[in-house]
Amino acid sequence: MKVDVFVIGAGAAGLTAARIAAEKGLKVLVAEKGSGATIQSSGVIDVAGYLPSGFLFASASEGVRIIARENKSHPYSIIGGGQETEPEKRVKESEKLVRKALKDFVESMNSVRVNFMGSLDENVLVTNFVGTFKPTCLCPSTIYNGNTKNLDNSSVIFVGVKGFPDYDPKFCAQSFSDIAPGLKIKPKSVNHAYLDIPGLEGRGDILAIEIARRMDDPETLEKIGQNLQKRIESADHIAIPTAGVKSPEENIKTLAEAAGANVFELTSFPPSVPGYRLVKLLEKAAQNAGASVRRGYKVVGANCNKMVKSLKVEIGRKITEIEADVYILASGSFLGGGLKEEKDFLKESMFNLPVYSSDGTNLEEVCLEKLLSRNVFPMGGHKLFSSGINVNEKLQPISDKGEPVYGNLYAAGSVLSGYNYIAEKSGMGVAIVTGYLAGLNASG
């Protein structure tokens, strides 16, 4: 089998790269061995939330500019031209590319009928299942409606579902009330309530995906709306744990009409319905562009000299060799499987590419333990989580000498070194922007 572009990984980075290359008319194959971080995510697009020191960026664009100026090895610097480029030029080029890539992302989501709202020029704070907040850049409209600016000076009710153990609305409301003043948000009142979901009554082990599927059923949704009306006397805003899988925007509208209030979804922890939706949407957009996405295709070996010639792919019990002109490594970090621990050392899983920490140290002889701090939550995060492969400004993996390891290999997403998405809140931003650039570069 032969294709033009072989993408390893179907997370945010791989699916974005695949869509871009397919839009250029290339024959694209995406192989995925199993799920990675994207499906676990809260489904909102963080671009730049914090500096490692904890400084909160007012906007993603401010974050990208500061990072590209000050942190030479960050992917936002690399895409702006890399270490050798003048800082001001790097900042300008990086911001330009980030804006282009995210505009393209929003348009691709519109093409599959989903509205992502927000702006690179203003981070918003969104609320999660435990009533805390995080800064983010773009969200599905169902989540964006509940950003904290909207909640100021109004009454908010957190609604839970009886028998759904992952979300306690009472705890969430309390935590929201405690934290809000520190963020200069003064809700008029914060309360909580519980609903029964028709078809799930009497159970104590309900999953978020089950509630979401009930929301997608028009008859059940109508009954949920009636339950909301009965339970809630009046509120300006109602927070619900999930709005559905297939038609969350329409479901939210229906519930808002029934309750006479703004209804929004909370961001959640894994297993996350918005994360699942995001993967499905990215996949649909890539497929609509012509890319072929194959789940259960595990890349187990590579045939390379100075170029990657072909990959060995395990499909069921068979090993098949697939050739391509260009390859994109979007295999993720630990959750995805792009990076792994081997005999106490950190390794890249597929091509045995050299792995570096964010300060540029080659980790070949550095024991993994040294990349972890004794403090569980160190300022700026553990070094391990900003380690990965180094790339040049074209996103080709490079060696110690700065030369591309293979002429026809590009890389994108969380397999890259130089950033810690947990500490920075930049996960999807880096994945989408580097996926976009890798897709363009792979298309020649």
Binding site for ligand FAD (CB under 6 A): 8-14, 31-34, 36-38, 40-42, 44-46, 270, 298-299, 330-332, 335-338, 349-350, 413-414, 421, 427-428, 431
- Cα gap 238→259, rounded to integer Å: 9
Q: Is 404 helix (H, G, I), strand (E, B) or coil?
A: strand
Q: What share of the chain is helix, strand, coil (3-state, %, to 5)?
A: 35, 25, 40
- Cα gap 250→367, rounded to integer Å: 51
Q: Any idea which residue has 């927000």 for tokens?
A: 118
Residue 286, token pair as written in the block: 């890539």
In 3D space, the residue among 116, 162, 172, 219 whose CA is nearest the CA of residue 428 turns out to be 116
Q: Is 63 helix (H, G, I), strand (E, B) or coil?
A: helix
Q: Any idea which residue has 């939210």 for tokens?
A: 252
Strands 297-304 and 124-127, sheet pairing? unpaired
Residue-wise over 68-105: b if at least 16 C-beta within 10 A, else e? bbebbbbbbbbbbbbeebeeeebbbbbbebbbebbebb
